[in-house]
Amino acid sequence: MRVEKKYLIEEVSNHLKKSDYVILTNYTGITVAETAELREKLAEDGAEFHVVKNSSLKVAAKALGLPEIDDSLGGPTAIIVGGSNSPGAAKTITAFIKEKQKVEVKSAILGDKLITSDDVKTLAELPSLDALRGQLLGLLNQPGTMFVRLLNAPAQSLANVLQAKVRAESGEE
């Protein structure tokens, strides 16, 4: 294997190792300025956009034990990788596609599973990680809040009865 090819495969492997997801896109028709804009938006989610050679991506993915992606490697390919916020990256690329009508999601790898472009759209519809954490905390707090209200109910009822008796005796109504 040529040194240049080995270097490209190693570079793609390093990109793939950066995250637990990889979104494969077809970037046909996107300008340099739009690519810079997309990279800037993805950086906010801790993600990166890299144009890669299909052959290098195929070899690197196979070497890392990722699912087979041969069906997704037609045409020019760019990958989106980085961090663990796959819903954030999916939201960003989906919004960009809707706005520019140029980039197209081919498929994605989430963990060790190959998912379709429709699955990426579904992933983009999920709430953010912070919103999910907030929902989880709300669910965890709810039983405690209900328990405190239940414990407080008899004392509150007694206080209401005594307050009504005081009003009745003083002539208030």
Q: What is the residue-level pLDDT of the chain in tens, covering all 173 positions? A: 688 888 888 888 888 888 888 889 898 888 899 889 989 998 988 888 888 888 888 888 888 888 888 888 888 888 988 877 788 888 888 888 888 887 888 888 888 888 888 888 888 887 777 787 888 888 887 877 777 777 778 878 878 888 888 888 887 65
Closest of 24, 88, 10, 106 to residue 56, by C-alpha = 10
Distance CA 34, CA 96 (A): 9
Q: Which residue has the tokens 């993805």?
A: 42
Within 10 A of 62 (CB to CB), how many other CB atoms are there?
13
Which residues, in sequence order, are CB contacts of 35 under 8 Å at separation 6+? Answer: 27, 49
What per-residue confidence (pLDDT) applies to 164? Answer: 85
The per-residue pLDDT for 87 is: 82
Q: Which residue has the tokens 């999916």?
A: 90
Each domain of the chain, given as residue ranges in start order, spans: 3-126, 128-173
pLDDT at 173: 55
Q: Which CATH number fits domain 3-126: 3.20.20.60, 3.30.70.1730, 3.40.50.510, 3.10.20.30?
A: 3.30.70.1730
- C-alpha 89/C-alpha 123 separation (Å) is 9
| pTM of this structure | 0.70
SS3 content of the chain, % helix, strand, coil (to 5): 60, 15, 25
What are the structure tokens assigned to 29, written together?
């028709």
